[in-house]
Chain A
């Protein structure tokens, strides 16, 4: 098992799946000649040729639609958005077409497509390039929404996404591309829709995904110093939600704090908290707390931007709150 970066893990996943299945191809802005704006597709043009690694003009709605059409006739496209902030101009294709064609056609067409790309507050990208749109996509029946947090999950989940017969929105946090971790060589599949306990604990359930896992694990470490054993759950897929895993944890700890980088109102955590309240109200010893981005446009200034993010301090404060400490 080699230690590789998150971006290399994604590259491995795509390359292995393209080796395995000739119908798989990659299309997007700068994915071929430039080898990806974030170098995720390094070496892939050379390896697979311009039939399968295709540069597009700046035309997200167009190439997302071409991808959906290709999927309808039997190919398995990977559509890269340079960032998911730009997917906003293609959202009609993703939501109206990709998510609904199977349903609207009575099952005559499936859309085996992956929309992938970077996302998140990645450092001085300002308000229009720092979007976290996972809650938008996660609301749509017909889409699977995946946000890996580690290189191994990135590889295993992307391979599963490419093999899925239904559309997957695969969101990579830009700040994770350089993250290193052990990644199994060759065939490594992580099933879609399964959460993973990244750190077991008994006192409080910390529910998170994507880049926020790092701050959450750091907070859990700090809390352990105070004698609080936090259980950290990485959702990995936010739609469909692995509710069984959450329930098992909350029934054990009776407390939950949800950590997410999206905005608080109608955010992913709001939906999760609602489900827990509906099902496990009697198990709770404290209200569910959430640590999300602050409710404002994302600033350019690096210090202001940092203040928006879920931080170790903010997480610890909410954990203390649900434990009725301090």
Chain B
């Protein structure tokens, strides 16, 4: 079982000051549920500052928002490990506090330069299988296998050890003799930016890229996990050499003076998170879309009446608030829609917490309206407003961003009639709400003008079958078309 020793937490404590030394090493905490790293946006303490429990040490930009990083301890700041702008992985050390009676200068000296990293076994990309692969078959058999129980050696099945297949271009040029297929897009066309920010590359590929002054991010890696290897860099250089000189550097006399350079916008952390979560949802969840039209003339009338009454309180209900209320009530009747899909079970939630998609400058956030089924319209309005404002200012708390059980995405204000939303995993359904608009409506055999709203439910078919989705939609339609029934 030698591989485990590599990630045993003991390994990271060895060589550090013994237990008698007790300065506090403050690590990057998890400030949002999906955060894997944070960017230090501002230090709020300086070396020498006294801090108490609860004091804000720094502002940290997570994948969702800028969050205050608070101290859980009391002490004197002895050492700040990182600079503003640094991306810091979860569990990586950020600063060191000297405790009462300790000399901060000595602590700084002792801990300076010793950046340590807390082992993140569960998050490690090095699963036992991966490690076995890395060791080229030298890892022992899984404990459960009967052959491994005794002393008999156990050949790990060749299937399990096989390296995943790679793109065609892979083998080419690996030993420098086969004709190499260009695997990189020639400059100045930008190659696809690598997911996750860090470019995986072999040391030799990095060296060649450095010497040739090539940005590795422009090269598509053909090795395992997209690793850029020597043949990729060489193919890229070859392709570049064959390219006619880029117009930007040698404009032809006839070319217009103005350069039409494409704008390159580096991914923000939120953009990366959105990209990753949307791809994940599309990848794992077989979606179905079930749309209904709800005639909301009565709702519109009630809204006007209530708003006239609420004018004194400066509250203005939106149609969306009624939809939120109706959805919450419908979810109570259809617990299968208010659920999460987990590998071994569908979890029907006891609370009805409705996430509301909010467009912000950098992307979209989904703050959560908790226990929405227990809220009146007035509370729904007030809380929604507060959440939207916090979202736009980047001030949402973890509490406000977590715990959702269903999501509503409303593009009605843009005049959109109908659209498809992508699931907000692990939730199993999301409702796309269109505009309430006047449309021709057939009543009996006659044509009328009515106010109609299209509600399109996206459901994860792993958890929700078509009929379940349709039943939920029928309930929702009923509540919206006959608002008085919400009182029942």
Q: Give the CA-CA distance A317 to B223 in the complex, in Å.
A: 16
Does A65 reach chain B (CB closer than 8 Å)? no
List the one stretch of A7-15, A208-216, A279-287 in contact with chain B: A279-287
> Contacts A282-B207, A295-B2, A324-B170 hold; do A318 and B136 have CB atoms under 8 A apart?
yes
Contact between B174 and A297 (Cβ–Cβ < 8 Å)?
no
Contact between B137 and A324 (Cβ–Cβ < 8 Å)?
no
B132 to chain A, nearest CB (A): 11
> Contacts A323-B175, A325-B171 hold; do A290 and B136 have CB atoms under 8 A apart?
yes
Does B436 reach chain A (CB closer than 8 Å)? no
Contact between A308 and B136 (Cβ–Cβ < 8 Å)?
no
**Closest chain A residue, CB of each to CB of B137:** A314
Q: Give the CA-CA distance A297 to B152 in the complex, in Å.
A: 7
Does A131 reach chain B (CB closer than 8 Å)? no
> Contacts A254-B204, A282-B207, A285-B230 hold; do A323 and B174 have CB atoms under 8 A apart?
yes
Contacts of B153 in A (CB 8 A): 294, 296-297, 299, 304, 307-308
Q: Give the CA-CA distance A227 to B206 in the complex, in Å.
A: 26
Within 8 A of B (CB), among A271-295: 281-287, 289-292, 294-295
A/B pair count, beta carbons within 8 Å? 97
Q: Give the CA-CA distance A284 to B170 in the complex, in Å.
A: 17
Does A321 reach chain B (CB closer than 8 Å)? yes
Q: Give the CA-CA distance A88 to B5 in the complex, in Å.
A: 26
Contact between B203 and A283 (Cβ–Cβ < 8 Å)?
yes
Contacts of A321 in B (CB 8 A): 136, 163
Does A228 reach chain B (CB closer than 8 Å)? yes
**Closest chain B residue, CB of each to CB of A308:** B153
**Closest chain A residue, CB of each to CB of B173:** A324
Within 8 A of A (CB), among B146-179: 151-155, 163, 165-166, 170-171, 174-178
Q: Give the CA-CA distance A301 to B207 in the complex, in Å.
A: 48
Contact between A282 and B136 (Cβ–Cβ < 8 Å)?
no
Does B37 reach chain A (CB closer than 8 Å)? no
Q: Give the CA-CA distance A294 to B36 in the complex, in Å.
A: 36
Does A20 reach chain B (CB closer than 8 Å)? no
Within 8 A of B (CB), among A30-56: none
A152 to chain B, nearest CB (A): 31
**Closest chain A residue, CB of each to CB of B138:** A264
Does B231 reach chain A (CB closer than 8 Å)? yes
Contacts of A296 in B (CB 8 A): 140, 151-154
Contacts of B136 in A (CB 8 A): 289-291, 314, 317-318, 321
Q: Which secondary structure dominates where chain A touches chain B?
A: loop
Q: Give the CA-CA distance A290 to B2 in the complex, in Å.
A: 15
**Closest chain A residue, CB of each to CB of B171:** A325
Contacts of A317 in B (CB 8 A): 136-137
Does B275 reach chain A (CB closer than 8 Å)? no
Contact between A265 and B170 (Cβ–Cβ < 8 Å)?
no
B210 to chain A, nearest CB (A): 9
Q: Which secondary structure dominates where chain B touches chain A?
A: loop
Partner of B229, one of A204, A299, A324: A324
Encode B202-215 as 1/0 by CB contact (under 8 A) with A.
11111100000000
Contact between A286 and B177 (Cβ–Cβ < 8 Å)?
no
A59 to chain B, nearest CB (A): 29
Does B268 reach chain A (CB closer than 8 Å)? no
Contacts of B224 in A (CB 8 A): 324
Contact between B175 and A227 (Cβ–Cβ < 8 Å)?
yes
Does B56 reach chain A (CB closer than 8 Å)? no
B212 to chain A, nearest CB (A): 14
Contact between B152 and A299 (Cβ–Cβ < 8 Å)?
yes
**Closest chain B residue, CB of each to CB of A258:** B136
Does A203 reach chain B (CB closer than 8 Å)? yes
Within 8 A of A (CB), among B193-225: 202-207, 222-224
Partner of B135, one of A228, A264, A304: A264
Does B110 reach chain A (CB closer than 8 Å)? no
- Interface centre among A254, A285, A287, A321, by most chain B C-beta atoms within 10 angstroms, is A285
Q: Give the CA-CA distance A284 to B230 in the complex, in Å.
A: 9
Partner of A254, one of B166, B177, B230: B230
Contacts of A299 in B (CB 8 A): 151-153
A150 to chain B, nearest CB (A): 27
Does B139 reach chain A (CB closer than 8 Å)? yes
Contacts of A203 in B (CB 8 A): 175-176
Does B134 reach chain A (CB closer than 8 Å)? yes
Contact between A324 and B205 (Cβ–Cβ < 8 Å)?
no
> Contacts A295-B140, A314-B137 hold; do A324 and B222 have CB atoms under 8 A apart?
yes
Q: Give the CA-CA distance A95 to B27 in the complex, in Å.
A: 45
B406 to chain A, nearest CB (A): 46
Contacts of A204 in B (CB 8 A): 175
Contacts of B177 in A (CB 8 A): 227
Q: Give the CA-CA distance A127 to B163 in the complex, in Å.
A: 31
Q: Give the CA-CA distance A285 to B230 in the complex, in Å.
A: 6
Q: Give the CA-CA distance A289 to B224 in the complex, in Å.
A: 14
Contact between A284 and B174 (Cβ–Cβ < 8 Å)?
no
Contacts of A281 in B (CB 8 A): 203
Contacts of B230 in A (CB 8 A): 254, 285
Contact between B204 and A294 (Cβ–Cβ < 8 Å)?
no
**Closest chain A residue, CB of each to CB of B1:** A295
Q: Give the CA-CA distance A229 to B178 in the complex, in Å.
A: 13
Contact between B203 and A282 (Cβ–Cβ < 8 Å)?
yes
Q: Give the CA-CA distance A87 to B452 in the complex, in Å.
A: 91
**Closest chain A residue, CB of each to CB of B207:** A282
**Closest chain A residue, CB of each to CB of B5:** A265
> Contacts A285-B229, A290-B136 hold; do A324 and B166 have CB atoms under 8 A apart?
yes
> Contacts A285-B202, A324-B223 hold; do A127 and B155 have CB atoms under 8 A apart?
no
Contact between A294 and B203 (Cβ–Cβ < 8 Å)?
no
> Contacts A285-B204, A286-B229 hold; do A295 and B171 have CB atoms under 8 A apart?
no
B95 to chain A, nearest CB (A): 31
Encode B258-302 as 1/0 by CB contact (under 8 A) with A.
000000000000000000000000000000000000000000000
Contacts of B203 in A (CB 8 A): 281-285
A129 to chain B, nearest CB (A): 14
In the assembled complex, 19 residue pairs joining A and B whose CB atoms fall closer than 8 Å, in A order, are A227-B175, A228-B175, A229-B175, A282-B204, A291-B137, A292-B138, A294-B140, A294-B154, A294-B155, A296-B152, A296-B153, A297-B153, A299-B152, A307-B155, A314-B136, A323-B174, A323-B175, A325-B171, A325-B174
A residues neighboring B (CB under 8 Å): 127, 202-204, 227-229, 254, 264-265, 281-287, 289-292, 294-297, 299, 301, 304, 307-308, 314, 317-318, 321, 323-326
6 A-B pairs with least C-beta separation:
A264-B138, A265-B2, A296-B153, A285-B204, A203-B175, A285-B230
